[in-house]
Amino acid sequence: MRLSPVRVLRLIQINWIMVRYGLDDLLLATPPFRPIAFLRFLLPGYWLGKRTQQPRGVRLRLALEALGPIFVKFGQALSTRRDLLPDDIARELARLQDKVPPFPGAQARQIIELAYGHALETVLRDFDEQPLASASIAQVHTARLLTGESVIIKVVRPSIERVIRRDVELLHILAELAERYWREGRRLRPREVVKEYEKTIIDELDLVREAANASHLKRNFQDSEVLYIPEVHWSLTRRNVLVMERIYGMPIGDIEALRARGVNLKILSERGVEIFFTQVFRDSFFHADMHPGNIFVDARDPQQPRYIAIDFGIIGTLGPTDQHYLAENFLAFFNRDYRRVAELHIESGWVPADTRVDEFESAIRTVSEPIFDKPLKDISFGGFLLTLFQTARRFNMEIQPQLVLLQKTLLSIEGLGRQLDPDLDLWKTAKPYLENWMKQRIGLNAFARKLRYSLPRLLDQLPELPYLIQDTLHKANHGDLKVRLQADEIEHLRREIKAGNRRYFYATLGVGLLVSAAIIMTMDGHSITLIGGVPVLSWVSGVLGGVLLVWAWPRSG
């Protein structure tokens, strides 16, 4: 990568800060640099820099703060990767504060007016040039719409994208060096970590994307009694300007104020757990930056407090497969079924397929059994995930970015919940939810829902099946297949095609009857007679459809 003079100067600055905080000792202590470790005594920075004898985690945190907001945010992101870091460093990085001096309010006004193409007063009034909050990517101001409604305006910092791209390029260089010379580099894939961070931070620059995340979450929790999402004003939102409803709530980190208000902290903590599992398992769309600074409490009814969330730049999602395996992992773990936990990791592809189940099971049992010496209420879900990831690392588990975000969010929610209620039993709160979620995905009702969902595609493809079989046989008969078939096999297939056509007819009829059963089952109040809560016609149609499908199913031999 070609370095411009500006980047060279930035690298020199980074080196100076590393020397100042004694991080060169960490670097020169790694195997590739041990033979030249003595050279640090020849560096001017070693003698002139203000060195510190503080612990390495503290030194790293101070150095990142000195390097500026982009490195601070990288350290924050890295602190969630406890599968990569020693505990002392991870704890210190988690203390990094994303607070930077604000830029002038008059400059924010200019950015907003440039985004709208006309004077600010034509769309807003009472714009406060004194920022309400300031962070590394953007800062927030308050104003009113012409209709009088209070709003907040989030404005991206001027020239921040150029600064981000410059420093991220340097992070790529450092990651490449780490992967080349660090023993753990190839397995932990630092270049991919930086690439993932780059995507996250560049996405945070697009406030239209953040607004879309907020709208999606608001739709998921429409009319909810447990979570409120502010309204987005889309007509005033641009890529670098976001206008949202201003919310008024109590900071969730102010426990004493919540107590003084008479807020039921037990219900508040349980609702936090409910919100998390609802987002993950019902919606597969969760707020992945739920630290106390982004959460407020609507305490108008202290006995039924409601969460208010802000800042939707980082969102996590899980696919159906990850959802299923994650729920099963939790349930198997708390049932102490370690073999099932091991099997789930292999089935999901989180660890290589050739992993020996018995060895993996033994490793999981070794680290999990001590956990159960504690009461269930003291067992950490986030800690369990971390334990699993650290154990699986020995079996070449690849980093799963979607699970890392999930672990980060779960640790935040869990810590916050137990801060509100030290006796919070996360398992007692979560287990019924997980069991109900699993039940909804197995059984006749789940089969009917999946069948209704896939029916159009299934019916669209079924008519083509005989032609595909006939085309395959034709090519096989003329030797056009890549793998040629023997004559006796072709004759056998000819006989099979006749029987296959009959099976195809009965299979189609069976599918149709099963679909009819599913449709009748959902027609509540439109059926006359019920057996066990299910309409008779649904039973009859389902049984006939099942019989036909069993008869039409291809037989071995």
Q: Where are the domains of the chain?
A: 1-98, 99-247, 249-441, 444-552
Amino acid 101: pLDDT? 80
Q: Which two tokens stand for residue 68?
A: 């500026």
pTM of model > 0.85 = no
Find where tokens 């790694």 sit: 30
Q: Which two tokens stand for residue 185?
A: 């580099």
| Other Cβ atoms within 10 Å of 72 Cβ, number | 22
Is residue 154 within 8 Å of 142, Cβ to Cβ? Answer: no
Q: Which two tokens stand for residue 236?
A: 């005033």
> Could you tell me whether strands 534-535 and 315-317 are parallel, antiparallel, or unpaired per DSSP bridges?
unpaired
Is residue 297 within 8 Å of 418, Cβ to Cβ? Answer: no
Any idea what the Cα angle at residue 440 is, between residues 439 and 443, rounded to 5°?
70
Those residues with Cβ within 8 angstroms of residue 522's Cβ, 6 or more apart along the chain or in another chain:
448
| Helices 381-393 and 338-347: angle between axes, nearest 10 degrees | 70
User: Hey, what amino acid is at 101?
Assistant: P
**CA distances for 406 relative to 226, 228, 287, 346, angstroms:** 20, 21, 9, 20
Amino acid 557: pLDDT? 46
Amino acid 485: pLDDT? 46
Amino acid 197: pLDDT? 76
Amino acid 375: pLDDT? 64
Q: Is 50 exposed, middle or buried (0-12, 13-18, 19+ CB in 10 A)?
A: exposed
List the beta bridge partners of residue 307: 227, 297
Helices (H), 128-206: 160-181, 185-188, 190-204
**CA distances for 198 relative to 74, 172, 205, 429, angstroms:** 9, 9, 11, 36
Q: pLDDT per residue over 335-351, tens digit each?
A: 888 898 888 888 887 78
Find where tokens 């503080």 sit: 54
Amino acid 477: pLDDT? 67
Find the farthest-apart pair of alpha carbons in the chain and give their distance in angstroms, rounded. Answer: 93
Question: Which residues does the annotation mark as catalytic?
Answer: 289
d(CA 69, CA 134): 12
With residues binned 3-state (H G I as helix, E B as strand, rest as coil), the percentages for the chain, rounded to 5, are 65, 10, 30
List the beta bridge partners of residue 228: 308
Q: What pLDDT tens digit does each residue of the chain (557 aa) get?
A: 455 666 667 767 777 777 777 776 655 555 444 544 545 555 555 555 555 567 878 888 888 878 777 777 777 777 766 655 677 787 787 777 666 788 999 999 999 999 999 899 999 999 999 999 888 889 999 999 999 999 999 999 998 888 888 888 877 877 777 667 665 556 556 777 778 778 878 888 899 999 999 999 999 999 899 999 999 999 999 999 999 999 999 998 888 999 999 999 999 988 888 898 889 888 889 998 887 788 999 999 999 999 999 999 888 888 888 888 888 888 888 788 889 888 888 888 778 888 888 888 898 888 778 777 666 567 676 777 777 777 777 777 766 666 777 777 777 787 788 788 887 777 777 777 777 777 776 655 555 555 565 556 666 666 666 767 777 776 666 666 555 445 455 556 566 666 666 666 666 666 666 666 666 655 544 444 555 555 666 656 666 666 655 555 555 44
